[in-house]
Amino acid sequence: MAKRKIRLLVVDDSAIIRKLIPQSLAREPDIDVVGTAVDPYNARDLILELKPDILTLDIEMPRMDGLTFLKILMEKHPMPVIILSSLTQRGSMQAMEALRLGAVDVLAKPQGSFSLGETGEALGDRIRGAMAARLGRAGSPAGGVSLGHGRVLPPESARPRQWHPHQLCLLGASTGGTEAIRRVISQLPAHFPGICIVQHIPAFISNAFAERVNQDSAMEVREARDGDIPGPGLVLIAPGDYHMALSREGGHYRVNLKKGSKVWFQRPAVDVLFRSAASLVGAWGLGVLLTGMGRDGAEGLLQLQGAGARTIAQDEATSVVYGMPKAAADLGAADQILPINDIPAYMMRSFIDQLNP
């Protein structure tokens, strides 16, 4: 029996986009564009009539904006949603809000009039990845599943006044990772060992993502710059479309940003960061791999573990997509497999234990 095709509904007020997306996906044998809608009201009727599995959704539309529609949809009729967002500062902030409300992924709306460009090339794989996402009824992709009880961080008196300068956390994530990262970082104290993060994210929203996490964090969180020196109290997030690697100069680490070929179809790629760090951080390192589609980061986590670093993978129950963490677990690369709410406390305990072997 032939496998059932993925049924896609395109919701966009642009007639060009409503034409280009079906054309771009015509060569995808497992995806069927069952309809197009000009606005959320039209989309509401077509969802009931056509019963699509997934939507692509524009944010700026007449009669009802995409964010309002997304919120209603996640409450009343949750399904995977991929946002198409304009390449503007306002568009990037709206895209981040859409991810918070429950959208699974974000793609840049093409600037040209006659081609989807890289957006079209990525769309088929993004649709397949979004279909694997675990959706809840409360607007968050991980809503409706157990997030763990959350281990309490050690009291202030039990934390060291000074960390070792070589202690460093390397963290990677993909689908569902924006909210997972925010959840982890928001639970950490201000003077925590440095953290370097690779999240698969489009270039036009990576800075907005860093700003969003910074708002909820006691640590300073910002987009990484070439030559940055990671250290306590600082979280550096790889900018979209740049790999982030580490080198070591004297007594400190240094961030190196580079273009280079995509790894696991991604730039930035988690494996680039993890592999570059493994021989540098050794037993002072901590590797964390969160929710995401594919295998990126699994082999790098294994290298970190082999160099003496402690390693963590998010568990299946709290992952939006249990791909990258599962690949790491299958390799035996994770010392601990934990619910998302338990990860911050384990990170703290791991760094404390490094100071008291």
Q: Among residues 296, 319, 342, 350, which one is catalytic?
A: 296
In contact, 292 and 132? CB cutoff 8 Å: no
C-alpha span between 138 and 154 (Å, rounded): 30
Sheet hosting strand 168-173, strand order edge to edge:
220-223, 234-237, 194-199, 168-173, 285-289, 310-314, 336-338
Examine the residue annotation and report whether 296 is marked as an active-site residue of this protein: yes
Token readout for 317 is 């129950």
- DSSP alpha helix (H) spans, 77-201: 89-101, 118-131, 177-185
Q: Is 200 a catalytic residue?
A: yes
Return the bridge partners of 10, or none.
36, 56
H helix count then E strand count, the chain: 11, 14
Active site (annotated) includes residue 191: no
Which of the following is catalytic: 174, 206, 217, 276? 174
Q: Which of 85, 105, 200, 243 is catalytic?
A: 200
DSSP per position, 12-76: -S-HHHHHHHHHHHTT-TTEEEEEEESSHHHHHHHHHHH--SEEEEESS-SSS-HHHHHHHHHHH
Q: Which active-site residues does the annotation give?
A: 174, 200, 296
